[in-house]
Amino acid sequence: MTHRISRRARVLGASIGAGMLIPLVAAATPAAAATPQVSCTSAKAGLAAKLQRDITAALANRTGTIAVGLYDRSTKTNCSLRSSTAYDSASVVKVTVLATLLWDAKKHNRYLTQREADLAKAMITKSDNASTSTLWRQLGLTKIKGFLTAAGMTQTKPGADGYWGLTQITVRDEQKLLALTTAKNSVLSDNARAYILKLMGQVVSSQRWGTPAGAPAGVAVHVKNGWLSRATHGWRVHSVGTFKGGGHDYTITVLTHGNSTMQYGINTIQAVAKVIHKDLAAS
């Protein structure tokens, strides 16, 4: 596959996320099973039941396969739906690529080079595909798998043959990654965590849809989205975000496929996000 593309093509590439780099091949069809239900627990009286009811209502009559994860440290609140269902990552994997780069640099007791910093910024803030491919090749599967092991992200399977957008991800593992970026731990240094959040806080305005929808004023928002259309399961549209303020410290992951259009997937994610933000703000 050639990587010599015009400026217009690069701009289009940024707008379609990982789509440019992905071959149209069939994905395995998940086995049929009973429809799972939203499950919530919380240390705050009444909050779990409210979230469970409101997230379920937000998803009523939405087509596609939707997975949801929420964790709020402040109220010890957990919600999940299809937490172990695998999805093609599209550009959401770019947070994992950045985390791997920083984890590996820490192991070698070095700072990122200016070149790496430039690539990382373009990868996260503009969802630049060429930058992601460069860092993916530089790191290689051994280092990427090493980070996943260190992070306990055992359900994440890196895409083969350079197709990072076909990495298999789950809500459970994305929530683990977001937890590592938002609290002190032995995997990512404090500087690395701050750097990831800084870039996720600088995502261009046209890509700040998804989990930030409905976030109250004064809440710090960090987001990374992914979107990709393939021959099977239609559009994959995903959003991961971290939120802090108003007495809460929480992370949200929503993964979807089987969307008829990208906007349909965005609307589904935002319907879920709005009720989560509203319920937490009122608790």
Q: What are the pLDDT digits (tens) for 155-202?
A: 999 999 999 999 999 999 999 999 999 999 999 999 999 999 999 999
Residue 32 makes CB contacts below 8 A (sequence gap 6+) with none
Q: What is the mean pLDDT of the chain?
A: 91
Confidence at 33, pLDDT banded by 50, 70, 90: low
Give 234-271 pLDDT, tens digit per residue.
Answer: 999 999 999 999 999 999 999 999 999 999 999 999 99
Provide the pLDDT confidence category of residue 100 given band limits of 50, 70 and 90.
very high
Query: Measured on CA atoms in the order 196, 199, 201, 204, is the torsion positive or negative?
Result: negative
User: In 10 A of CB 203, how many CB atoms?
Assistant: 21
| Rounded Cα–Cα distance for residues 14 and 92 (Å) | 13
**CA nearest 21: which of 138, 128, 155?**
128
Nearest alpha-carbon partner for 16 in 207, 161, 271: 207
Instruction: Summarize pLDDT for 111-141 with one digit per residue, the tens.
Output: 999 999 999 999 999 999 999 999 999 999 9
Q: Are 244 and 277 in contact (CB under 8 A)?
A: no
pLDDT band at 35 (very low <50, low <70, confident <90, very high): confident
Contact, 207 vs 127, CB < 8 A? Answer: yes
Q: How far is CA 97 from CA 127, 167, 278, in A?
A: 12, 11, 32
The pLDDT of residue 3 is 37
Q: Where are the beta strands (DSSP E) in 145-232?
A: 168-169, 220-229
Q: Residue 263's CB: how many other CB atoms inside 10 A?
A: 13
Q: Give the Cβ contact number of residue 56 at 10 Å.
A: 15
| Distance (Å, whole) CA 219 – CA 236 | 27
CATH class assigned to 7-22+39-281: alpha beta
Contact residues for 174 (Cβ-Cβ < 8 A; gap 6+): 69, 92, 240, 253, 255
**pTM greater than the 0.95 cutoff:** no
Cβ-in-10-Å burial (0-12, 13-18, 19+) of 137 comes to exposed
- H/E segment holding residue 197: helix 190-200
Question: Which residues are CB-neighbours of 262 under 8 A, at least 6 positions away?
Answer: 227, 229, 235, 237
Instruction: With CA atoms as reference, report the closest residue to 152 among 179, 192, 183.
Output: 179
Identify residue 51 by its one-letter amino acid code.
Answer: L
CB of 65 closer than 8 Å to CB of 85: yes
The domain locations on the chain are 7-22+39-281
Q: Whole-angstrom Cα distance, residue 4 to residue 10?
A: 10
Three-class SS of residue 251?
strand
